[in-house]
Amino acid sequence: MKIQEADAKSLLVAQGLPVPPWEEAHTAAEAREAAKRFFADGAEQVVIKAQVLVGGRGKAGGVKLAGFAAQTELVAQSILDLEIKGIPVRKVLVGPAADIVKEFYLSAVLDRAARRILLMGSAEGGVEIEQVAAERPDAIVTIHADPLIGLQAFQAREMAFRLGLGAHLKDAVAIATGLVRTMLAYDADLVEINPLAIVNVSSDDGPVTQRLQCLDAKITLDDSALHRHPELEQLRDPDEEDPADREAREAGLTFIKLDGTIGCMVNGAGLAMTTMDLVKRAGGEPANFLDIGGGARADKVAAAMRLILADPKVNAILVNIFGGITRGDEVARGLIEARAQQERDVPMVVRIVGTNAAEAAVLLEQAQFVTAATLDEAAAQAVAASKSAVA
């Protein structure tokens, strides 16, 4: 699960990491009031950042500066009017603009190949790390945490020195170890600071000092661990979750909406992807990825059918079940029940093999379903049905 920058920053603050202050605003007027408070505290400029769960906000015009409160309102409105990669901006983050001396990149990420947590840093911060990795891999420093004893202080020091942060050693070590601690505390796949920056900080009475601060934050949480962190569930952004995704999640189904016309219902993730691929290969376009999971019962099948039919573009359905734990006759009963309830009549091709396939075949024949023996045949039939529905 991805969470918004403001929420990610809250988690970092809870782990004691240095993050400059911010406020969230849902309207331009709220942004203006927030800005007033930051200007009163001595900020010379404020930064207004779109809160959307996609990358490339800056390029899309979703990150801007303002020099006074009224300007903040205008800028915030312009950002709230944006759509970034198809997602309307519904809120912005407002904070004092940092006086940046130098930007860095630092992240803790699950390295699946090494089966370890990887601490990754670069002295080239503020740009996309994938681009740095592709163009200048030498500019990226990588250090693995030990799988049993975790990241040690000497490793964090090594990272700091290799990034040229020797003058900020204590802060850099605290941040590096803090990223790994944050990852473990919340079961995150990724905790990324880009940029981590040396900034000039002026205090009321003293001279300007340089400090290391986390200016941005990106955290991705492990969906399999959310049950251990019920407090994080509220960070799920309802504005950015498709209603179909929510219904699927609540029904215990894995559903991903795509752009095509052929609805797919499959048991097993690998087979569900394969079914989509074969629809495409047969000349059609899959409307969704849908895994009903192992041992799916009739009610789950009916919920899956509702999800598929809720997409108005769907004009044919392909059901592909290879029964192992899942019993074919249970799925067949669910299909019969679902068809009796459904409001829209869409041609359906059903293929059920494996456990209790013979019983399923009898039920489907009695209910006059169109069936197919192989997956390739089923895909071809579904594509033909979809095409004749358009014609």
Among 84, 141, 163, 183, binds another protein (CB under 8 A): 183
Among 254, 339, 367, 384, binds another protein (CB under 8 A): 254
- Exactly one of 5, 103, 124, 192 is catalytic; which is it? 192
Name the one range near another protein by CB under 8 A: 28-36, 41-49, 180-188, 198-206: 180-188
Among 125, 286, 328, 334, binds another protein (CB under 8 A): 286
Q: How far apart are the first and last CA of the chain?
A: 40
Q: Does 297 bind another protein (CB under 8 A)?
A: no
Q: Is 271 exposed, middle or buried (0-12, 13-18, 19+ CB in 10 A)?
A: middle
Residue 377: closest CA among 278, 261, 287, 272:
278
Task: Please tell me the chain's helix, strand, coil percentages from 3-state DSSP, rounded to the nearest 5.
Answer: 40, 25, 30
Residue 7: closest CA among 220, 162, 157:
220
Q: How far apart are CA 62 and CA 49, in angstroms?
A: 6
Q: Does 244 bind another protein (CB under 8 A)?
A: no
Longest dimension (CA), the chain: 86
Among 13, 63, 271, 336, binds another protein (CB under 8 A): 271
Q: Say if residues 144 and 117 touch (Cβ distance below 8 Å).
A: yes
Site string for another protein, 30-69 (x = CB under 8 A): ----------------------------------------
Q: Does 276 bind another protein (CB under 8 A)?
A: yes
Chain centre distance of CA 33? 31
Q: Determine whether 192 is an active site residue.
A: yes
Q: Does 268 bind another protein (CB under 8 A)?
A: yes
Q: Is 294 exposed, middle or buried (0-12, 13-18, 19+ CB in 10 A)?
A: exposed
Backbone φ/ψ region at 283: left (φ over 0), alpha (ψ -120 to 50), beta? left
Written as one letter, the residue type at 290 is L
Q: Does 147 bind another protein (CB under 8 A)?
A: yes
Q: Which residue's CB is nearer to another protein, number 88 or number 294? A: 294
Span 223-242, contacts to another protein by CB under 8 A: 223-225, 228
Among 40, 41, 86, 113, binds another protein (CB under 8 A): 113
> In this structure, what token pair is assigned to residue 269?
């993730």
Q: Which residue's CB is nearer to another protein, number 51 or number 288? A: 288
Q: Which residue's CB is nearer to another protein, number 128 or number 337? A: 128
Q: Does 347 bind another protein (CB under 8 A)?
A: no
Q: Which residue's CB is nearer to another protein, number 184 or number 384? A: 184
Among 26, 36, 37, 116, binds another protein (CB under 8 A): 116
Q: Determine whether 186 is an active site residue.
A: no
Q: Which residue's CB is nearer to another protein, number 212 or number 279? A: 279
Residue 114: closest CA among 137, 153, 162, 146:
146
Q: How far apart are CA 290 and CA 28, in angstroms?
A: 39
The DSSP code for 146 is: B
> In this structure, what token pair is assigned to residue 63?
């990150």
Smallest gap from Cβ 86 to another protein, in A, equals 12
The DSSP code for 166 is: G
Question: So which residues are the catalytic ones?
Answer: 105, 192
Q: Which residues bind another protein (CB under 8 A)?
A: 110, 112-113, 115-117, 130, 147-148, 183-184, 187, 189, 222-225, 228, 254, 256, 258, 266-274, 276-281, 286, 289, 291, 294, 322-325, 353-355, 374-376
